[in-house]
Amino acid sequence: MAVPAQKLPGEVTDLPAIVLIGQSDNEKPRGSWFAKTDRASARKAAALTGMKIVPVKSGKLTELALKLPKGRIFSSGKAFAPLIQPKVYEALLPHAGNAPAPKGGDLFASGDAGAPRQDKAKESGKGDAAAKPKESFPPDWARISVGHTVLAYSPDDEAWFEALVVEAAADGKFVLKWRDYPEDDAFTKRRADLALKFPEGQKAAG
């Protein structure tokens, strides 16, 4: 009698098969990946919202896809696609095909906060300005101060992003702005809610 195949310990079966990427109205990159079992639903979501589709067909694309959150499909048929790192978006973009353009209407559904509307071309070249000044990182967590780049958690996007400390507020709190989205409003975080990011090759002090 044939014995059904069993999954071996540590075997990975839930890998990215397709990636959806796009930009919100303020040109922030968003995206997520979907496994093979959700590929058809993801393609339908892309057609609905105008997102771009990246088939994951190589180890390099798998590596890039795993830098994104795993997606899910809302009851409206649209995809969960939170903010992603701009450099990951730019790396995936050349591998994307154009999804069918949406037929109009509000692409956000009730309860679908964070779902992208429509991918926009950067016709003005905005964002290609002069190189950013060299970042400054705190030597340790206790010495975070104004001008340092740290990591802050965005609950809306369920991810950590680089933020700049712009002011030391009262009660051990800091006023910050997202490094890659300086046009967004400033926000406040406690020291305990921040994490450190060290430049490549630099080890933590101590």
Q: pLDDT, tens digit, for every residue of 62-74?
A: 999 999 988 888 8
CA 57, 62, 68, 69 dihedral sign is positive
Residue that wins the pLDDT comparison between 135 and 98? 135
Structure tokens at 158: 């369920």
Lowest mean pLDDT among 35-44, 95-104, 139-148: 95-104
Q: Give the dihedral of Cα atoms 151, 152, 156, 159; nearest 10 deg.
A: 30
Ranges 77-81, 165-169, 172-176: which has the least confidence: 77-81
The Cα 52–Cα 202 span in angstroms is: 36
SS3 labels along 100-131: CCCCCCCCCCCCCCCCCCCCCCCCCCCCCCCC
Pairwise pLDDT comparison (55 vs 2), residue with the higher score:
55
Q: What is the CATH number of domain 141-195?
A: 2.30.30.140
Percent of the chain with pLDDT over 70: 70
Contact 49, 118 (CB under 8 A): yes
| Residue 185 or residue 108, greater confidence | 185
Task: Please say if the pLDDT value at position 186 is more than 70.
Answer: yes
- 19 with 32: CB under 8 angstroms? yes
What does R_g of the chain's alpha carbons equal in angstroms? 20
Contact 32, 40 (CB under 8 A): no
Residue 10 confidence (pLDDT) above 70: no
Instruction: Indicate whether 7 pLDDT > 50.
Output: no
**What's CA 120's distance to the chain center, in Å?**
17
pLDDT score recorded for residue 203: 53
What is the Cα–Cα distance from 112 to 79, expressed in whole angstroms?
A: 8
Domain parsing of the chain, residue ranges: 16-95, 141-195
Sequence length of the chain is 206
Looking at per-residue pLDDT, the higher value among 194 and 1 belongs to: 194
Could you tell me if 184 and 198 are in contact, meaning their C-beta atoms sit under 8 angstroms apart?
A: no
**Euclidean distance between CA atoms 11 and 150, whole angstroms:** 35
